[in-house]
Structure 1
Amino acid sequence: MFKQQIKELWGLCFNDSEAFTELYFTHRYNNEVNICIQSGEMVISAMQTLPYPMTFCNNTIPTAYVSGACTHPDYQGRGVMRELLSQAFGRMQSQGVLLSTLIPATDYLFDYYKKSGYAAVFDYMVETLLPEDLSYGKKDLKIASSAEFQEDVYAYLAAKMEERSCCIQHTAADFKVVLADLTLSGGEVFVATSGKSICGIAVAYSKEQTLQVNELLTDSNEVEQALLLAACERWNCRKLSVIRPYKQEANRRRLGMVRIIDAKRVLQLYAAANPQVEMNMELTDSLLAANNGYFYINNGKCMKSEERLPGSHERLSIEALALKIFLPLKPYMSLMLN
Structure 2
Amino acid sequence: MNIRYAKPIDKEQVVSVWNYCFEDGEDFVKYYFENVYDENNTIIIEENDEVLSALQLNKYTIDLRDNKYDVSYVVGVSSKPEVRGLGYMKHLMAYTLEELYKNGEIVSLLMAIDYRLYKRYGFDHCYDQIQYNLRTDELLGFRLSSKLRKATFEDAETLSRIYTKAMESLNGYAVRDEAYFNRFIKEVSSESGYIYIDEENNSYIAYYIQGDTFFVRELIYNNISSLKSMLAYIYNHNTQCKKTVINAPVDDKIKLIIANLKTCEIKLIPFMAGRVINFEKYIESLNSCNIDTQKINNKYIKIKVIDKYI
The TM tier, using the shorter chain, reads 0.7 to 0.9
In 2, Cα distance between the equivalents of 1:185 and 1:234? 19
Contact 1:187 1:206 in 2 (8 A): yes
| Alignment of 1:209 onto 2:212 | yes
- One-letter code aligned to 1:261: I
In 2, Cα distance between the equivalents of 1:100 and 1:51? 10
Moved more, 77-86 or 177-186: 177-186
| 1:237 aligned residue (223, 227, 241) | 241
- One-letter code aligned to 1:241: V
- One-letter code aligned to 2:133: T
- One-letter code aligned to 1:94: K
| 2:99 aligned residue (91, 98, 106) | 91
Structure 2 match to 1:287: 309
Structure 2 match to 1:119: 124
Structure 2 match to 1:82: 90
Offset of 1:138 from its aligned partner? 6.7
- One-letter code aligned to 1:244: A
Offset of 1:46 from its aligned partner? 0.7
Structure 2 match to 1:46: 54
In 1, Cα distance between the equivalents of 2:137 and 2:246? 12
Offset of 1:137 from its aligned partner? 5.5
- Cα displacement string for residues 105-126 of structure 1 (whole angstroms, at most 9, x for unaligned residues): 3xxx311100000011121111
The 1:277/1:241 distance shift into structure 2, 3 A limit, reads farther
TM-score scaled to structure 2, two decimals? Answer: 0.82
| 1:260 aligned residue (276, 279, 299) | 276
TM-score scaled to structure 1, two decimals? Answer: 0.75
Structure 2 match to 1:179: 185
Structure 1 match to 2:172: 166
| 1:246 aligned residue (247, 250, 273) | 250
Offset of 1:200 from its aligned partner? 1.2
Q: Which runs of 5+ in 1 are unaligned?
A: 289-338
- One-letter code aligned to 1:120: H
In 1, Cα distance between the equivalents of 2:164 and 2:288? 25
In 2, Cα distance between the equivalents of 1:251 and 1:225? 21
- Cα displacement string for residues 263-298 of structure 1 (whole angstroms, at most 9, x for unaligned residues): 11212234626999955432110000xxxxxxxxxx
In 1, Cα distance between the equivalents of 2:153 and 2:180? 13
**In the TM superposition, what are the counterparts of 1:1-338 in structure 2 within 5 Å?**
1-105=9-113, 109-129=114-134, 130-136=136-142, 139=145, 141-150=146-155, 151-194=157-200, 198-233=201-236, 236-247=240-251, 251-270=267-286, 272=288, 280-288=302-310
In 2, Cα distance between the equivalents of 1:138 and 1:36? 50
Structure 1 match to 2:258: none
Contact 2:165 2:222 in 1 (8 A): no
Contact 1:136 1:222 in 2 (8 A): no
In 1, Cα distance between the equivalents of 2:13 and 2:295? 49
Contact 1:271 1:277 in 2 (8 A): no
- One-letter code aligned to 2:303: M
Aligned residues: 280
Identity of aligned residues (%): 21
Q: Which runs of 5+ in 2 are unaligned?
A: 1-8, 253-265
Offset of 1:233 from its aligned partner? 2.4
2:233 alignment partner, SS class = helix
- One-letter code aligned to 2:270: R
Contact 2:207 2:214 in 1 (8 A): yes
Offset of 1:221 from its aligned partner? 1.6
Contact 2:143 2:232 in 1 (8 A): no
In 2, Cα distance between the equivalents of 1:243 and 1:46? 29
Contact 2:160 2:176 in 1 (8 A): no
The 1:265/1:162 distance shift into structure 2, 3 A limit, reads farther
In 1, Cα distance between the equivalents of 2:97 and 2:140? 47
Aligned Cα root-mean-square deviation (Å): 2.5
Offset of 1:149 from its aligned partner? 4.8
The 1:178/1:58 distance shift into structure 2, 3 A limit, reads same
